[in-house]
A and B are shown apart, each in its own frame.
Chain A
Amino acid sequence: MSILGLSNYLETYLLIGALLFGMGVYGLLHRRTLIGMLISSELILSAAALNFMAFGRFLAPDPTTGQIFTLFIMGIAAAEAAIALSIIIAVYRNYKSIDTEDVIDLQG
């Protein structure tokens, strides 16, 4: 197995997906601002989409399943980004900040 033939193995894509997911979780826990957390959640969604594409390409009997699932993930991610950003703008209008530690009285 040569390093130049890595694109033909399922495990390569699974490793990249796991790495993206780990970075997304790290950013989601570590970031202070709401927009930074939203950016990290987009990384998590990309990792999931990449895994679906890899399994659909290498293992599934019907190769369209993974691609259609990824299309739906993109649609859900677009809806999620629109809703989250409008909530962030509403929070900013009331608190003049998007820092999670300034809006702490929103916690339940």
Chain B
Amino acid sequence: MMSLFTAEGLGGLVFLFVVAVTVTGGVIATNSVRLPRAVSGLAMCLIGVAGLFYYLNSPFLAAMEMLIYVGAVCVTIVFAIMLADSGAEAKVGRQSAVSAPLSFGVGALLAWGLGLLGITTMWPASPVKVNDGSVTAIGKSLLTTYSMVFELISVVLLMAIIGALVLARAGRDKP
């Protein structure tokens, strides 16, 4: 048993806290009636995921997660709620009574199957690493091996911006 009062023990305790934040945020995001609360749950869950990225030896990706997901995507969703939400829902789920247990069953079955697959598979032992996975190595890979994908995603983002502008502007001139 690892002692709690060592650096590894405290790190493990913080890891358990991060996992709890992630799971609680996910539950809030999927079950709350009011949409602003659901967005807060999503932000909480994504902060937890950023913490998990930190434990996976990637502080850079943790910072990016905070910046892009928590800082940009969640705030955009909040803006859309302010523009389009017509008050509180009467209830979370759909009209039919079988919807809630059926969708819960599908979700639980998928999570159970994937979790079982992850635990029971014998993953091959970690081979020799070719680099240390630092920000320098990420930059080198982005501009050599993945340069084509890097260019393509910039085109995708440009098209997304133009498409969002066109979609959201159409019909604005109507009285």
Interface of A with B (CB < 8 Å)?
2-7, 10-27, 29-33, 35-36, 38-40, 42-43, 46, 49-50, 53-54, 56-59, 61-65, 67-68, 70-72, 74-83, 85-90, 92-94, 96-101
Asked, given contacts A35-B80, A36-B38, whether A59 binds B124 with beta carbons under 8 Å apart, the answer is yes
B20 to chain A, nearest CB (A): 11
Cα–Cα, bound, A76→B149 (Å): 12
Across the interface, do A74 and B84 meet the contact criterion of CB distance under 8 Å?
A: no
**Lowest 4 CB-CB distances: which A-B pairs, in order?**
A22-B111, A4-B12, A26-B107, A63-B133
Across the interface, do A2 and B1 meet the contact criterion of CB distance under 8 Å?
A: yes
Q: Which of A18, A38, A81 contacts B111 (CB under 8 A)?
A: A18
Residue of A nearest to B95 (CB): A101
| Contact-residue size bin, chain B (C-beta under 8 Å from the other chain) | 35 or more
Across the interface, do B83 and A89 meet the contact criterion of CB distance under 8 Å?
A: yes
Cα–Cα, bound, A56→B52 (Å): 13
Instruction: Name which of A31, A64, A72 has the most chain B CB atoms within 10 A of its CB.
Output: A64
Q: Which of A33, A50, A90 contacts B49 (CB under 8 A)?
A: A50
B5 to chain A, nearest CB (A): 11
